[in-house]
């Protein structure tokens, strides 16, 4: 499924439909260049789901956890991971196996792990106009 948005208002408008498509899996992988809008999209998804906490990029802490009713949502940013062994140090497999919703930026860094998990891929590219193209598969 393809989406094209030119503003954050348009992004907010497409999130319900995007979430319906992407959330068939509890693990969502967000792919795109630095500055493409991965964190912005994840924040919009959080608002759509009713998360009232301020969502921020977990770049330095790697994992942010948010309450989602009786469950949790994990926002994971793998940008700073240098070695696959690091994902075991912070417990990524346990988080993935928990059944919680996992919103993961920079999955390319640990590509080999995703073959073992059902997931949705969300790719974001920038347009010359400054807008974004979002692909969900």
pLDDT at 57: 83
Residues 18-23: contacts with CB under 8 Å, at least 24 apart: 18/45, 18/122, 18/134, 18/136, 19/45, 19/48, 19/49, 21/120, 21/136, 22/120, 22/122, 22/136, 23/101, 23/120
Domains and CATH numbers, the chain: 2-136 (3.40.50.300)
Residue 130 has pLDDT above 80, yes or no: yes
Residue 96 has pLDDT above 80, yes or no: yes
pLDDT at 68: 81
Residue 60 has pLDDT above 80, yes or no: no
pLDDT at 4: 95
Residue 59 has pLDDT above 80, yes or no: no
User: Could you give the C-alpha distances from 63 to 69, 75, 82, 131, in angstroms and in order?
Assistant: 19, 6, 15, 28
Q: Which residue has the higher pLDDT, 101 or 109?
A: 101
Give pLDDT tens digits for 9-52. 999 999 999 999 999 999 999 999 999 999 999 999 999 999 98
Residue 71 has pLDDT above 90, yes or no: no
Strand residue runs (E) in the chain: 2-5, 27-31, 63-68, 71-77, 101-105, 120-126, 132-136
């Amino acid at each position: 499924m393809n989406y094209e948005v030119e503003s954050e208002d348009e992004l907010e408008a497409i999130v319900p439909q995007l979430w319906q498509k992407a959330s068939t899996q509890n693990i969502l992988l967000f792919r795109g260049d630095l500055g493409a809008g991965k964190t912005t999209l994840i924040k919009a998804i959080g608002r759509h789901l009713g998360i009232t906490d301020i969502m921020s990029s977990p770049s330095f802490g790697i994992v942010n956890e948010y309450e989602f009713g009786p469950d949790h949502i994990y926002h994971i940013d793998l940008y700073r991971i240098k070695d696959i062994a690091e994902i075991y140090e912070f417990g990524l497999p346990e988080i993935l196996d928990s059944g919680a919703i996992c919103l993961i930026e920079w999955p390319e860094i640990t590509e080999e792990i995703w073959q073992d998990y059902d997931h949705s891929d969300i790719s974001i590219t920038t347009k010359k106009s400054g807008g974004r193209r979002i692909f969900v598969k």
